[in-house]
């Protein structure tokens, strides 16, 4: 049942890509938030 294995592998790859992208986006948004707050505090 090779097709089933490839389908599961494809789903796993998509899921891992989405997870990594979500993590990087979360880090980026946190950094942006800290940057904006520090800028607003300086002025």
Domain span at residue 11? 1-42
Domain count of the chain?
Answer: 1
Instruction: Give 2-39 pLDDT, tens digit per residue.
Output: 778 899 999 999 999 999 999 999 999 999 999 999 98
Separation between Cα atoms, residue 25 and residue 17, nearest integer Å: 12
pTM of the model: 0.51
Separation between Cα atoms, residue 5 and residue 12, nearest integer Å: 10
Separation between Cα atoms, residue 1 and residue 29, nearest integer Å: 43
Separation between Cα atoms, residue 11 and residue 30, nearest integer Å: 28
Q: Residues 7, 17, 9, CA angle at the centre, nearest 5°?
A: 20
Asked if residue 1 has pLDDT above 70, the reply is: no
């Amino acid at each position: 049942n090779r097709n089933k294995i490839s389908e599961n592998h494809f789903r796993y790859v998509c899921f891992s890509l989405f997870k990594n992208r979500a993590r990087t986006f979360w880090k980026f948004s946190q950094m942006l938030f800290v940057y904006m707050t520090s800028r607003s505090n300086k002025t």
